[in-house]
Amino acid sequence: MRRKKRIAILSGGGDCPGINAVIRAVTKKAIIDYDMEVIGIQDGYEGLIHNHYRDLTFDDVSGILTVGGTILGTSNTANPYHYVAGRGKRLNFTDVSGRALDNIDRLNIDCLVCIGGDGTLTIANLLHRDGVPAIGVPKTIDNDIQGTDITFGFDSAVSIAAESIDRLHTTAQSHHRAMIVEVMGRNAGWIALYAGVASGGDIILIPEIPYDIEKVINRVKERGKRHKRFTIIVVAEGAKPRGGKAVVQRVVKSSPEPLRLGGIGFALGAEIEKLSGIETRTVVLGHLQRSGVPTPFDRVLATRLGSRAVDMIINKRFGYMVGVAGNSLIDVPLKVVAEGQRNIPASDPLIAAARSVGTCFGDHEMHIP
């Protein structure tokens, strides 16, 4: 008897609204349309290394479309090619990819579907190089994956950030304060740009445009002269002053990306208060941005991406990621994703649109009549 095709799904990196919607789409389509067996690797590449998995049935993934997080668990430190072998005073790393490859062979996996960001998909590319039939699905709230216009999770994060900023307008106006909202995004400013524009941020600071603190202070003071006695400042965690560096909150040596950014909001607030005399408060949204129920847009996008991933399995498009170009889905080589993060280009039309309505990016003075 000919055995059924068997595919495996894993989710790596940080959690993100919409992962379960992808797991649901891949599993249901694989079972309904192609009578495949589906297994879920638990806790990302950690499960692949230690052979931790579970079977996924149609009923297992029913009712998870709107559920945040991931039913499979995840890890943002496990890398089979650079795995922490010992945790003493000094971390020891080793290559355990051979163990992961052996587990894939033992499980008779015909394709490994990797749901993740640039780190997860870079590892997927290495596994494919070593003979694993792998396909990627782009997941991150940061929207910084090469080869795709958008990632699922981004819209949910922007919605949460924008709603939070909307709520801060009233308290900023009541107390005549400068309110700083620090959002996630690592070294890319997509969340800050979109949430800032959507919520009418007066100043938006992103990593792609180093800011001049004098320009920021001048904008805050200029608003006061125009009887606007409050200022909303949206700052990406990776934003930095001209000639300076991003603020590092802590270092996680066991992680593929050890530098954890954060704290720019408080550093900026202290400077603004000192140089302008205007009372300043900082709100750090943190993990709220990647928690909870995905937006309808992300549920739809995740379903489209998961469904397309199964089509790619059937067509043996291994070594590729499902990407988005405009409103179309495309196949993107995983090696393109491994080239690095996708940052906001200087020519991005939303930056131009924001400037045209008076938004300050901290890089030059703006005359408002």
- Catalytic center residues: 142
Q: Are 232 and 168 in contact (CB under 8 A)?
A: yes
Q: How far apart are CA 267 and CA 212, in angstroms?
A: 14
What are phi and psi for residue 134, nearest 5 degrees?
Answer: -115, 145
Reported as type and span, the H/E element at residue 174 is: helix 154-175
Going 61 to 63 to 65 to 69, the CA torsion angle's sign is: negative
Residues whose CB falls within 8 Å of the CB of residue 137, separated by 6 or more in sequence, listed in order: 22, 26, 113, 114, 115, 116, 305, 306, 309, 321, 322
Helices (H), 277-314: 296-314
Cα 173 → chain centroid: 31
Q: What is the DSSP letter of 235?
A: E
Q: Burial-class residue 274 by CB neighbours within 10 Å (0-12, 13-18, 19+).
A: exposed
User: What count of Cα atoms within 13 Å lies in the side-chain half-sphere of residue 208?
Assistant: 18
Going 289 to 290 to 296 to 298, the CA torsion angle's sign is: positive
Q: How far apart are CA 331 and CA 315, in angstroms?
A: 11
The neighbouring-strand residues paired with 178 are 231, 280
